[in-house]
Each structure stands twice: as structure tokens, then as C-alpha cells.
Amino acid sequence: MADGDEASLPIRPKQPKQQLTKGMEHMRKYVVVPEKALSASEKTDDYGIPSTIEPIRKATSDAASNPQNRTDPFQFGTRYLEQDSDIFAHNAWDHVEVDAQYAEFIEQQTIFQRDNQVSDFDKTRFKDKPEKWWDKFYSNNNANFFKDRKWLVQEFPILGEVTSEGHGKCTVLEIGAGAGNTAFPLLAMNKNDDLKVHACDYSAKAIDVIRAQEAYTAQGKPAVLKADVWDAAGEVLPPGLEAGSVDLVLMIFIFSALSPDQWTRAVSNIFTLLKPGGEVLLRDYGRGDLAQVRFKKGRYLEENFYVRGDGTRVYFFEEQELRDIWSGKLPTFEDAEDDSQKVLTDTPKFEIVNLAVDRRMLVNRQRKLKMYRCWMQGRFRKPA
């Protein structure tokens, strides 16, 4: 080609982006917006849930006596979505039920996730020393990821009692303390001179984050809050705590971080630590929660058990499953084919004081999105 001559090359036309991959074709009717004019609230949202799925509304009640109309933006439990309610009038609705279409969507998502699960190599990698993934998580996020849990007393009134002035001696153990988003609110509200709070986590980095906070270092003597590294499914008890020395155990979104083969050991350790009549306060993820249905390829480890993009793991519970675990009906390792597995003969049997499914619809008013959440909340007592 002579200098100055321009090359005449064919230009390849840009190909339109494929609407759905082959692996998502079975979800077409759920994720593709119909070809018709839709309002802003009807369009497919960014959370992977079809925006056309609507919650089941309750019959309209007398607005004058209905507590759902309260102005307190943080009072949960009595804000019901009724026939004449504007979904975007509040930022959250309680006890929200969804129709059969959503249940079908969950099942379709589960099939898709199961067909595109984590490789055997990665299953082994994520199962080995899970604390290292949490160390990495807290190294990247420090105390900036989670918000302090201001709803603690709202959901667990007993915490208001044990932190009140003159209540008397009480030892609280928080398992899976993370960056202290439960421990520090307890410390801030405490007026009980005889309260002791032990915050434990199997991530050493998380404990470093707690110990570095001013609220921790500025404590008087003796300190109310103490933070230590401890594996709830390990073979030893937490530093400074003996068998039968704990009044309350807090487990806020931590039981789900354990693999199913760790449940029995963790429950056994907790049973050992509690005084007779001591209680466990649990809040965790339920099956069908937004966090579960939005998982894509390569996150499914086993049934209801997933790995997040940062390598941390999460399980989503059924109500009856939790009842079986904490009441001692969960199968032990006695009949395990692998002889190397530890045999647990004394399965702890807690009394189920309360266990319920907490279904809520959270709303993003600005973006006109609705998010269906499903949490489990329980209170279990060691027999006196």
C-alpha cells in the first residue's frame, strides 16, 4: 500500500447484546419486562426480583385506631400493608406475605443456583479456615460496613432489662461480634454497674477493630466490655468464661456463617456456657430472603448454603430446621460413615421460648424499589 493511501477494510457491525444467557432462559417470564408501558414502580428492579410480584394486602382497617399510621420511622411490628396503602408511603412494612408467584420464583432461582454451583475445588477452599475470609473482610472494611443495631431492645426487650440501673450481676456473651455493632450499643445504653459483656469472634481482625475503638479503650476499671477471639464451633471455651457462667448469649446473623456440620458443636458449647435458665437470643437469615434469591452462578455450596463474593459463607434457615437444631432433634454424628468425625453423644436440648419468621418489605422510595426480606428470630432457654 502506497503512502497516503487509506485502507478500505470492512467494518464489522456491532452485535446487539444478548438479552439473556442460556442459563437464564428458564427465568425469562420473571426477569424480562413485558413490552408495554410500565410505571416507574412496575419496572424490573436492580435486586433480581421481578417488580411485578406484589405483596398480599390485608383488609383495610379503621385508620384512626390502626397503629400502622404512626409517624415513628423506626417502630416495627405493627405497620401492616392494607388494601388502600401506598407501598411507598413508609420505608418498611411488617408481616408481609407474598403470593404463589414469588414462591415459584424462589424455587426457579434455587434450581438455577443448584445447576451452577461452586466447583469441588472451591468448595474445599472456602471450607478450609473460614476465619481467614472474615479476616480479609474486616481488613477491607474495618468498622465501616455494618451499622450499629439500634433495634436491639425493640426486638429483644430483655436487653433493656439487664442494662438497667440496679438490675444486678449479668454476663452477656455475644458470638460473632464482628466490628462491635451490637456490643457498643449495649455499652452505650448500659446503666448496670454489674454488667459484663464478652464480645467474641473467630476473626482476629474483627477483634482488633473492636479493641481499637475509643469506646473500648476509654472504659473505666473494671471494664464492662471485653473482646476476644473465639471459635464457637471449636473445642475450647472463650477466654475468661467458665462452664455455667453466662446469663445471655447473643447470636445476631452469626449462626448462618457456620457450616451445617458445625451446628451441633456450637450449640453444645453454648449449652455448656449458659447457667441453668440462661437464654440464647438469635436473629438470622430465613429461606427466600433477598440475600438468597439474588445469588447468581458459582455461589451455591450446598442446599441453602452459599458463598459470597468476598469468600464469607451464609446459610438460610427454615423455621422447623431451627426448632430441630435447638431442641436437640438434629441428627448427631453417631451414624456417620466417616469414623474421623467426632461423635457427639450428648445433644443439648433447649426449650424453645419463642421462634418466628419475620417477613418484611423494605422500600427504597427514591428508586421505587421494594425488597422482600425474611429473617428468623428466636429465644431459647437452657432448662433450669
Measure the CA–CA gap between 75 and 367, rounded to whole angstroms: 23
Number of domains in the chain: 1
Cell of residue 175, nine digits: 458470638
- pLDDT tens for 262-303 read 999 999 999 999 999 999 999 999 999 999 998 989 999 999
* pTM tops 0.95, yes or no: no
Classify residue 56: in a domain, yes or no: no
- Looking at residue 57, its pLDDT comes to 86
Q: What is the pLDDT of residue 162?
A: 96
Domain that holds residue 342: 129-356+377-382
CATH number at residue 325: 3.40.50.150
Residue at 340 is within a domain:
yes
- Look at residue 28 in the predicted model and tell me its pLDDT: 59
Quick one: pLDDT at residue 366?
Answer: 78
User: What is the tens place of the pLDDT at every residue in 79-131?
Assistant: 788 888 888 888 888 888 888 888 888 899 999 999 999 988 888 888 877 77
In a domain, 372, yes or no: no
The cell for 108 is 426457579
Closest CA to 284 of 265, 268, 303, 305: 305
CA-nearest of 68, 75, 52, 259 to 154 is: 75
Q: Does any domain span residue 143?
A: yes
pLDDT at 111: 93
Peptide bond into 222 cis (omega under 30): yes
Residue 85 belongs to some domain of the structure? no
Residues of the chain scoring pLDDT < 70: 1-47, 61-77, 133-134, 137-138, 141-148, 331-346
- Pair 91, 355: CB distance under 8 Å: no
Write down the pLDDT at residue 336. 45
Question: Distance (Å, rounded) from C-alpha 128 to C-alpha 131?
Answer: 9
Confirm whether 159 is domain-assigned: yes
pLDDT of 73 reads 38
Domain assignment present for 328: yes
Is residue 47 in some structural domain? no
